[in-house]
Structure 1
Amino acid sequence: MAKKLHIGSEIVRKFIHIGVTNWWFIYLWAFDEIIISLIGPIVFIMANAAAVFTGAANILGVSDKRRNYGLIYFPISLFIVIGLIHLDVLSEWAATIGVLTMGYADGFAALVGKKWGKAKKMIFGGEKSFLGSLTIFIVTFLIVIIVSYFYQIVGLWSFGWWIKALLIAATATVFEMCTPWGLDNLTVPLGAAFTSMVLMS
């Protein structure tokens, strides 16, 4: 259907991406036990891996296998993040910043960059748009604000907090810009989560 509607593979990839992200809210609301919590990411890993390695993703018009690995890496990052939460290595609020940054900031950045991003830059063999990078910075910054308010992070609204929020957004943007082949689906959520943990704990 994607081919018939002339929908680009990047758009299809990012809609899948954003859809997987929405599962995070179900996790926060409904799951406490680690085994139950990991079922969702495992299902996503298996389903996306099957789509990529069997060629089923081609039906959606998503045929770049190396980049399609990102569809597998993102639920793997969810698996890792949930495990780290239950091991008390990562706080829930920091993990939420990381996951939402990957899902929404990176997802919308790709869509905006594809549609309106004219000025391009080549980084590690991948083409990035300046508008897309600006989008991931802005959306990540907004995510940090919303999550910080919801979890009432210490120092909220202070000058130092604003600087830290900007640094988290900048870090996520750099990870997205500099990580090739879909691996940003690992580096962005984990990088944003740990940066948030270090700066705001």
Structure 2
Amino acid sequence: MSSLWFKIAIAGVWVGAIVLIAELLHLYTSTDPEKIRKVVHIGTGQVILLAWWLEIPAWVGITASILASVVTLLSYKFPILPGINSVGRKSLGTFFYAASIGILVAWFWAIEQPQYAAIGILVMTWGDGLAALIGQKYGKHPYKIGGIQKSWEGSLTMALVSYLVASLILFAVEGNIWQVYVVPIAVALIATGLEAFSKLGVDNITVPVGSAALCFFLMEILPSSL
């Protein structure tokens, strides 16, 4: 039990440090609020790797997700996390983010396939996070889908990063040609498509769950060797 609490403490310290950095940036610097939010978006998502590598039980991740979801909902009404939610646009993205971790941990820890939870969360954190930053700074070619404006530069970043994330994790766990080269293409395409429909921050749950689900089901139906 003491070992478990030590593992939980490691994950908690990591998340707490990222949130603290964001709040300090918010309070003492003039850093763009969207950039601060992406620091948290990318940084806290890496906790899924800690949970996987440290073999933290599912109940811990689910409980943490529920607590984080409650805190984020309260933060929309009260100044609990001003550094994270001071973006200046209406969005439930932080809530969906917390909920998605709980959903994927509950699903893939139960079947002892945590790599798919990692793929879903890291596609969201790195892909969506970098796509937003690249799109805002270098997005010179915008497009609209249903009134939602994106840039081709941002979407290309989302696709490339999603492919890289899925490919690296599947290479480490599985390793054959289907899993390393073919499946990540489908994951990248679905993740990019879902990210394009990001109204109210809903992509923070559709991207990770959709990416993980697609990857899992493709791995189930494609041949295990080539």
* TM-score with structure 2 setting the length: 0.77
Instruction: Kindly report which structure 2 residues correspond to 1:17-32, keeping only aligned pairs within 5 A, or say none.
Output: 17-32=41-56
Q: Which has the larger radius of gyration?
A: 2
Aligned residues: 196
Partner of 1:173: 192
Question: Is the 8 Å Cα contact of residues 132 and 154 (structure 2) preserved in structure 1?
Answer: yes
Partner Cα separation in structure 2 for residue 139 and residue 193 of structure 1: 15
Q: 1:185 to 1:60 in 2, by over 3 A?
A: closer
Instruction: Kindly report which structure 2 residues correspond to 1:52-201, keeping only aligned pairs within 5 A, or say none.
Output: 52-58=76-82, 62-64=86-88, 66-67=90-91, 69-88=92-111, 91-153=113-175, 156-158=176-178, 162-201=181-220
Question: Is the 8 Å Cα contact of residues 124 and 179 (structure 1) preserved in structure 2?
Answer: no
- SS of alignment partner, residue 122 of structure 1: strand
Shift in Å at residue 4 of structure 1? Answer: 6.7
Partner of 1:48: 72
Of 54, 61, 67 in structure 2, the residue corresponding to residue 37 of structure 1 is: 61
Runs of 4 or more, structure 1, over 3 Å off, are 1-6, 55-61
Shift in Å at residue 3 of structure 1? Answer: 7.7
Q: Which runs of 5+ in 2 are unaligned?
A: 1-24, 221-226
Q: 1:7 to 1:190 in 2, by over 3 A?
A: same
Q: 1:200 to 1:33 in 2, by over 3 A?
A: same
Partner Cα separation in structure 2 for residue 184 and residue 59 of structure 1: 21
**CA root-mean-square deviation:** 2.4
Partner Cα separation in structure 1 for residue 177 and residue 84 of structure 2: 44
Q: 1:81 to 1:163 in 2, by over 3 A?
A: same
- More relative contact order, 1 or 2 (CA 8 Å, 6+ apart): 1
Q: 1:58 to 1:86 in 2, by over 3 A?
A: closer
Q: Is 163-172 or 100-109 further displaced after alignment? A: 163-172
CA displacement, residues 118-152 of structure 1 (integer Å, 9 cap, x when unaligned): 22122233321111100010001101111011112
User: What amino acid is the match of 1:81?
Assistant: L
* TM-score with structure 1 setting the length: 0.85
Shift in Å at residue 161 of structure 1? Answer: 5.3
User: What amino acid is the match of 1:131?
Assistant: E
Q: Which runs of 5+ in 1 are unaligned?
A: none
User: What amino acid is the match of 1:147?
Assistant: I
Partner of 1:14: 38
- SS of alignment partner, residue 26 of structure 2: coil
- SS of alignment partner, residue 73 of structure 1: helix
Question: Is the 8 Å Cα contact of residues 2 and 61 (structure 1) preserved in structure 2?
Answer: no
Partner Cα separation in structure 2 for residue 58 and residue 161 of structure 1: 40
- SS of alignment partner, residue 66 of structure 1: coil
Partner Cα separation in structure 2 for residue 29 and residue 127 of structure 1: 38
Partner Cα separation in structure 1 for residue 50 and residue 186 of structure 2: 28
Q: 1:165 to 1:124 in 2, by over 3 A?
A: same
